Chains A and B, each alone.
Chain A
Amino acid sequence: MFSLRKVLTAAISAGVIGALITGTAVAPAQAAAKKKIAFVMGAESDPFFQAMKVGAEAAAAANNVELIWQGDPSEYSPATQIPVVDQVLAMNPDALVLIPTDPTALQASVTKAHNAGIPVINVDTRVNDLTNVLSFITGDNADGGAKAADALAKAIKYKAGKTYQVVVGLTSATATTNVARLDGFTKRLAAKYPGIKIKDKAYSQSSPAKANTNVSNWLTKYPNLAGIFAIDGTNAAGAAAAIQAKGLKGKIALVGYDAYKTNVDLIAKGIFTALVAQDPAAEAKLAIESLVKYFNTGSATGITKEVVIPNVVLSKTSTAAALKKYTYVQK
């Protein structure tokens, strides 16, 4: 049922991207001296990448490089991303920042760029083999999952010997960020809070409405539910609405991920117990700065191979300044 839509959107977006690329390729010919950095992200519709774009644009302007920002408008999928990478490489950029939507499927694209003498940096997610990757900059998803477990345990006032039911809302079974967060969450529960049992998991396919359906039904199915871990921004939005509509605000601990503005606003209202926030703007900034360093010195010295940017847990006790700083910037 879903695939028809994907094929159609892929067809349309390929056309749109093609048009965009030919458009941008012609325009800035006079600025040939500027270094060009191509930035291929996951899905334009995700505020996470919007915040990353703001960081990337600011860093590009500050370092006087040209930024080519590309990616599928809405699908986080290698099928739509690989053609975009190919198009971008055809423009002969001086460097490529790639957020691989699949660790295996995008490996060939990295090799292709490397063979063309284009340095590659991975941000957020990575390809399996980092040999040809200059640097990999990410938020620590496993750590984020573990921090979510801590926040959840604290919110339900965990006591050893008692059992608690929780559920986890995911986007897909394979997205590397989802897998790593769930892994971190599960391991921390097993190590420190064995009484917390994950009763159910379901996938929302990036739709807040589907996430809402999942959580609404769980709230009926498990009358004694203690908490919910919503693994990303769309799941968090769907879960928050379900808790409000069922009048369970404050009765069920809700730990979300990703600091969408709409979600951060719900911390103060007591809907979210905690939100794990990443810093996509900082990730993008570091990627651009590392590449500028590489352009200037012509070597990888001084560029760290793997950088982990820590997550922040936002809650009612966070200062207004912290809430503002970590809310994903939108244009």
Chain B
Amino acid sequence: MNQVGTDAKSLKQVRMLFGNQQFLLLLVWFAMVAFFTAFNSIFFSMAVFGNILLDWAPVVLIALGQTFVIISGGIDLSVGSTVGLSGVVAAFQMQHMMTNGDNQWLAIAVGTLVAALVGIAVGLVNGFLITKTKVVPFIATLVTMGAAAGLAIVYSGGAPVGGGPDKAIELSVPWFGPFSTPGLIVVGIVIICGLFLHLARFGRYTYAIGSNEFAARTAGINVNRHYLKVYALSGLLAGLAGMFFYCRLGSGAPTSGYGGELDAIAAVVIGGAALTGGIGRISGTVLGALILTTTTSGLIIIGVAPDWKQVVVAILIAAAVLLQGNKNGSRGGSK
């Protein structure tokens, strides 16, 4: 009797483990690493993991913001364009400081601040449109997506903006295992966002609003102010991603974030968040972004046309959504 009970209990634990999206994602990632390594052993090297992390950092940055937005029940389509705009504006600022003969590190610090401020500005416009003019997030951020992309091109004349500090590109060199300095900063931001979402009041409010906006309002949460904060956070992180691209390319390119919003949404959805709001975890987003960028590098290393990445990603999204549907279904049908 007792024996049967423990068996059933451990069986249930195993089933729970496999029902856990993060655990499954980790398994998928290990399988991918094994698969790519089997085709070309060079894949399993510090250099390749360094490449993957270089791609991962900006994707995860904007995906973190997107996680908050999606959990709150919204969507932010403007982040890809914000990456380009903030990179260009920061690049002009740094170019200006270099022609003035300012210190390189000071220029990088000011550039980062400028990129962050541009991001926050776009985020606040989104928040304003959503809370004050009551435009749905999809349309509000669609508007800013177009406006930011256009401004980036007008402002830069289309060309990458260079002439900034040479040290920026040296920052992208990995020195701590596969991590570069901006990469380590991104890891720090991931941890902070995790604490904010899962342990702080900010996160509880986000879940509450995403689950039931009306109930959250009734419970005394200032919903509009919270939306404003969530979109500003998403913009801030996109601005920092713009600076990350600057460090990577040594110039601010208006097109550097193109498609970034869809990569971010894909990472969040693969990570197990529901577009209906109220569900999602930072760990899922981190793994979702890792899987996306591992696919890119892996396909290049094994010599498959990168166009296949889109197909692989599509399959992963479908699998993630199916898994979610099953979970919801079993919850509803449990006796």
Contacts and interface: CB of A to CB of B under 8 A. Distances in A.
A247 B173 contact: yes
Contacts of A125: none
Interface string A23-48: 00000000000000000000111110
B153 A213 contact: no
B321 interface: no
A218 to B, nearest CB: 7
Given A45-B158, A218-B300, A206 B145 contact: no
Contacts, number: 149
Interface in B294-335: 296-297, 300-301, 303, 305-307, 310, 313-314
A291 interface: no
B269 to A, nearest CB: 12
Contacts of B314: 1
A207 interface: yes
Contact of B249 (A13, A43, A209): A209
A241 B249 contact: yes
Q: Is the interface of B mostly helix, strand, loop or mixed?
A: helix
Contacts of A262: 159-163, 250-251
Contact of B248 (A2, A44, A45, A209): A209
B113 interface: no
B256 A209 contact: yes
B159 A217 contact: no
B51 A213 contact: yes
Q: Is the interface of A mostly helix, strand, loop or mixed?
A: helix
Contact of A45 (B255, B263, B306): B255
A148 B146 CA distance: 37
A90 interface: no
Interface string B28-64: 0000000000001010010110010011001000000
Given A202-B306, A207-B259, A237-B253, A9 B149 contact: yes
B54, B158, B255, B300, most chain A CB atoms within 10 A = B158
Contacts of B245: 209
Contacts of B307: 203
Contacts of A331: 157
Given A8-B77, A12-B146, A50-B157, A241 B259 contact: no
Interface residues of B, number: 55
Nearest to B87: A209
Contacts of B254: 45
Interface in A158-206: 200, 202-203, 205-206
B250 A47 contact: no
A154 B296 CA distance: 33
A1 B159 contact: no
A73 B173 CA distance: 33
Contacts of A240: 250
Contacts of A206: 255, 258
A49 B158 contact: yes
A247 to B, nearest CB: 7
B158 A44 contact: yes
B206 to A, nearest CB: 25
Nearest to A211: B249
A14 to B, nearest CB: 11
Interface in B149-174: 149-150, 153, 157-163, 169-170, 172-173
Given A202-B306, A212-B249, A221-B300, 12 more contacts: A1-B263, A12-B146, A46-B158, A202-B300, A208-B249, A213-B296, A214-B306, A217-B297, A220-B42, A237-B251, A245-B173, A330-B157
26 contacts: A2-B262, A8-B145, A8-B146, A12-B142, A16-B146, A202-B306, A205-B259, A207-B256, A207-B259, A208-B255, A213-B51, A213-B296, A214-B300, A216-B51, A217-B48, A218-B300, A220-B47, A237-B160, A241-B172, A244-B169, A244-B250, A262-B159, A262-B161, A262-B250, A328-B159, A331-B157
